[in-house]
Chains A and B, each alone.
Chain A
Amino acid sequence: MRDALGDVQSALVLGGGSEIALATVRKLVERRTRTVVLAARRPDELTPAAEELRAAGADTVECLGFDAEDGVEAHAALVDDVFGRHGDIDLVLVAAGVLGDQERAASDARAARALVETNFSGLVSAIVPCAERLQAQGHGTLCVLSTVAGERPRRSNFVYGASKAGLDAFAQGLGDRLAGTGVRVLVVRPGFVHTRMTEGLDAAPLATTPEKVAEAIIDGIASGADTVWAPPALRYVMSVLRHVPRPIFRRLPM
Chain B
Amino acid sequence: MPSPRGRREGGAEANGGRTALASAAGSLPRDPDSLDGGDPTLLTGWGRTAATLAALHRPDGADRVAEIVAGAGDRGVIARGLGRSYGDAAQNAGGRVVSMLGVRGVRGFDVDNGVITVGAGLSIGELGGLVTPFGWFPPVLPGTSQVTIGGAIAADVHGKNHHVEGSFCDHVLAFALVTPGGEPLTVTTATEPDVFAATAGGMGMTGVVTEATIRLLPVETDRVRVDTERASDLDDLMSRMERDEEYRYSVAWVDCLARARRLGRSVLMRAEHATRAEVAGGDGARTTLDFSPPRALSAPPGIPSGVLSTATLRAFNEAYFRRAPRLERGRIETLNAYFRPLDVVADWNRLYGARGLLQYQLVVPFGAEDALRAVVERLAAERAPSFLAVLKRFGPGRGMLSFPLAGWTLTMDLPAGRAGLAPFLDELDELVVEAGGRLYLAKDSRLRPELLEPMYPELARWREVRARLDPRGALRSDLERRVGLVAGAPGRAAR
In the bound complex, CA of A62 to CA of B4 (Å): 30
Known: A34-B489, A87-B495, A135-B4. A5 touches B421 (CB 8 A): yes
Residues of B near A177 (CB, < 8 A) are 4
In the bound complex, CA of A119 to CA of B89 (Å): 40
With beta carbons under 8 angstroms apart, the residue of A9, A139, A178, A180 that contacts B491 is A9
Shortest CB-to-CB span from A223 to chain B, Å, is 7
Determine if A182 and B53 form an interchain contact, defined as CB atoms under 8 angstroms apart: yes
In the bound complex, CA of A71 to CA of B65 (Å): 45
Determine if A128 and B1 form an interchain contact, defined as CB atoms under 8 angstroms apart: yes
Determine if A223 and B94 form an interchain contact, defined as CB atoms under 8 angstroms apart: no
Determine if A34 and B445 form an interchain contact, defined as CB atoms under 8 angstroms apart: no
Binary flags per residue of A165-184, CB closer than 8 Å to B gives 1, else 0: 00000000000011011110
Residues of B near A2 (CB, < 8 A) are 50
Determine if A7 and B491 form an interchain contact, defined as CB atoms under 8 angstroms apart: no
Shortest CB-to-CB span from B22 to chain A, Å, is 27
Determine if A3 and B491 form an interchain contact, defined as CB atoms under 8 angstroms apart: no
In the bound complex, CA of A181 to CA of B94 (Å): 10
Residues of A near B445 (CB, < 8 A) are 3-5
Binary flags per residue of A80-94, CB closer than 8 Å to B gives 1, else 0: 000001111000000
Q: Which residue of B lies closest to A59 (CB)?
A: B491
Binary flags per residue of A106-127, CB closer than 8 Å to B gives 1, else 0: 0000000000000000000000
Residues of A near B490 (CB, < 8 A) are 1, 9-10, 34-35, 87-88
In the bound complex, CA of A132 to CA of B7 (Å): 13
Residues of A near B446 (CB, < 8 A) are 3-5, 7
With beta carbons under 8 angstroms apart, the residue of A5, A136, A182 that contacts B422 is A5
Q: Say if the beta carbon of B468 comes within 8 Å of chain A.
A: no
Q: Which residue of B lies closest to A181 (CB)?
A: B4
Chain A-chain B contacts (Cβ-Cβ < 8 Å), number: 110
Considering only residues 446-461 of chain B, those with a C-beta below 8 Å from chain A are 446, 448-449
Residues of A near B449 (CB, < 8 A) are 9
Q: Say if the beta carbon of B54 comes within 8 Å of chain A.
A: yes
Q: Say if the beta carbon of B275 comes within 8 Å of chain A.
A: no
Q: Which residue of A lies closest to B448 (CB)?
A: A32
Q: Which residue of A lies closest to B489 (CB)?
A: A34
Known: A1-B482, A3-B50, A85-B495. A178 touches B416 (CB 8 A): no
Determine if B42 and A4 form an interchain contact, defined as CB atoms under 8 angstroms apart: no
Q: Say if the beta carbon of A213 comes within 8 Å of chain B.
A: no
Determine if B482 and A35 form an interchain contact, defined as CB atoms under 8 angstroms apart: no
Binary flags per residue of B1-17, CB closer than 8 Å to A gives 1, else 0: 10011000000000000
Residues of B near A65 (CB, < 8 A) are none
Enumerate 16 A-B pairs (CB-CB under 8 Å) in ascending A order: A1-B93, A3-B49, A3-B445, A4-B358, A4-B445, A5-B422, A31-B422, A34-B489, A34-B490, A60-B491, A136-B32, A139-B52, A181-B42, A181-B53, A182-B51, A183-B4
- Residues of B in contact with A (beta carbons under 8 Å apart): 1, 4-5, 32-33, 35, 40, 42, 47, 49-54, 75, 87-88, 92-95, 354-356, 358, 416-417, 421-422, 425, 445-446, 448-449, 478, 481-482, 489-492, 495
